[in-house]
Structure 1
Amino acid sequence: MVVVKSSKPNRKHFMLYCFISIFFLCILASINELRFDNLVSFGRCSLSNSSSISNKQQQEIRILIGILTLPDQYLRRHFLRLVYGTQNPEGAKIDVKFVFCNLTKEEQKTTIALEIMRYNDIIILNCTENMNKGKTSTFFTTLPSIFNETVKGPNYPPYHYVMKADDDTYVRLNSLVKSLKPLPSEDLYYGFVIPCGSMDPFKHYMSGMGFLVSWDIVEWIHGSDIPKKHVEGPEDKVFGDWMRWGRRGLNRYNAKWAMYNYPDPPSVCSHDLVHDTIAVHLLKNQEKWVKTLNFFNHTAPLMQSNLYQHLS
């Protein structure tokens, strides 16, 4: 006779198995509670950041470009006013200001007073004109006082970003704005990484041709002792030291190779002019400026008129 074993499970064994499983699940849940909470917080943070970037892409961003130049460079300033005044950036309000130290000549005081009355685009710092002895430091340190936005009111911050640029750099404003739209609006350090062969913005620093930071970094420079204690030296390297020592600029953007030096003479920092460009540096003479503006068809929006029939 064949004995057939019942397929019905042993009820006692089954209940014991369930009890042990529930017990271990409770322990596991207790151990991972903190991790789960952190995961939820991280998710909320990620959603918040995504929402912030989305809102920023929809709103008009405000940018200050400070062009560090010399008081006697009258013709260069007038030319740059034409270059920047004929650009119409979309989705941003961009103010271009010319920055220099205290005036030393009566001619400067009179002529620059006329410029201020006409254009209102000059910032005069309380310093002695210099290249690597603190002019850039004075510029960034002074900005919060100039714009007097210490209280976070409805117009805070006065600018989302501040860019320091050389007067031989051509910044294409729409390209700049387009590159900034997806980036964070806080703790941002943006530019062309030096040395030229480097692509690591966390190991090195941004070239003085034109580097940009968010407004919270400007406020930090204003209040921190780090910039006050380290002033002299190549201004872009000194600025990079501040970022590293103060653990600032944790959001970094290397705009290479959309920012570069003019191709003549050739160098490791340069390449041919390309349409996907944010800034071209080392435009040391009018010929280079004209070739650059023509390459980018800068005067294309010029309307036809009987007043100037032979410009095209």
Structure 2
Amino acid sequence: MKKWTGGSVILALALLLFLRYALLPSSSSAATAAAAASPRRQPRRSRPPPHPSLSPKPHLLLSLPGLDVLFPSPNSTRSPQLDPSSKLAWAHMRPLLLRSDALPATADGVREAAAAWTELLAALDAEIGGKAAPFGGSNAELEKKSCPFAVNGSGSSLDIPCGFVQDSAVTVVGIPTGRNGSSRFGIELVGSRLPDGEAEPPMVLRCNVSLGGDGPLVAQNSWTVEGGWGEWEQCPAIGSAAANSSLKVDELVRCNEQLGESGVLENLNGSRPDGEKPAEKLKHSSHLSVGSPFVEGHPFTATLWAGLEGFHLTVNGRHETSFAYRERLEPWSVSEVRISGDLQLLSSLANGLPVSVDLDLIGDVKVLQAPPVPKRRIFMLVGVSSAANNFERRMALRRSWMQYEAVRSGNVAVRFLTGLHKNKQVNLELWREAQTYGDIQLMPFVDYYSLITLKTIALCILGTKILPAKYIMKTDDDAFVRINEILSSLNKSVSNGLLYGLISFESSPHRDKDSKWFISQEEWPHDKYPPWAHGPGYIISRDIAKFIARGHQERNLQVSYSN
């Protein structure tokens, strides 16, 4: 879970709390913890956090590639097939996306969303017009393209219909076929290719295995068209980065080694991801771990699985390596698994994949649909950040804490904030889900983790302008929210200047450029963050949400500190 939910939101809260405590007399507060499924909460402190000096007001860009597709003019002859109720926040996002200080990934997120949106509308037009099955295929092809739990095969490639989610895995059974330590093979997780003609899809993960010398060597990396190869991570590692081998991803070591040195391979940029494999060039002096996991002529079972923070390699039941997710190369974007090299492939299986829900198997859909929202101001709006292909998580929430009486009565409204996916099948399934349950708010950008701040701003707009609420809560689709306990606490609390959640007071930004959580000096120039609330569950009062929404619409608050 990302620990920094956006400089804009924190700056807004910092300024508001500073003014509150500087200008108003102190008063007692009945601040208690938000009772979501998360650890002990702490009350906010009164000391004002540091904030950067004021900068010139950002301007609006004249245009952004793809924006006119996502926000067509009122005179456009083509009307979207989606129910407008799924795009209530969407309509307010255009000025935010055009800001000169927009988040770095905004341009790509919008451009890719425009291509995905165009493809979705074409599929819906074909489906509604009865011209063909969605995406131009037959009904049999459509069934094949749906989101299954598992796919298998014996060839060198596996299509992943709807991406990976947490705990998705690909298992390969094979036999290294080289002689005298010459075997070299690899497993690749390939990203989604957009329909607008990308030359090469990104490489979410390349895992190269090289046998020979004193034992096997595993080298892992990722590749994009814009940035080429990142830093190669080797196990066992060599060179100057000995300390890095003990770093953990999901509480698992990056390299399971008993002997040897640690290091990071040099950064090799290339125009294509099929260039020279660095694992072929490396020398090493230790085994991967006690007992070689790869031996020529002997079968092995290797599993690459997706955790919360990165990918993990398990061989013959033992953890060997971990690879932290890199920015904009997230598991949901995986569309294909490729296996190549000196390997007799016996079988390959991808399982734990996201599964779309078959409506025919649901008993009473009405009890899972969002209830009507009363015309009066509701007590609380809960915005749930959710990736497009997390179908099962959203359904689990509808069947569990979204059945609280306060939710079913409409006094508390729950909405999933979901960006578009680069995979056309996922977007079609998402559209059907939005139409069926009425609790999804689509975002006009591809759902990159680095754009999560835009969801938070959209939630503030939603809770103040569209579904007015006294309190606004942000949470994630892997949290269980105890609505009754939260309402009990809020009923005893002040209604203005309120921030509830797990508050961190001493934390620093991630400066590793390859990290999914990378924060640049421009985004946050200080060594420490001001007090901030963790993303799994925090609540703000309406006045704070209104301050954030208005500040961004008037461009008085920065989306981030980057230009």
- Place the TM-score, normalised by the shorter chain, in its bin: 0.3 to 0.5
Structure in which a larger fraction of residues adopt helix: 1
Higher RCO (Cα < 8 Å, 6 or more apart): 2
- Higher share of residues assigned strand: 2
Q: Give 1 or 2 for the bigger CA radius of gyration.
A: 1
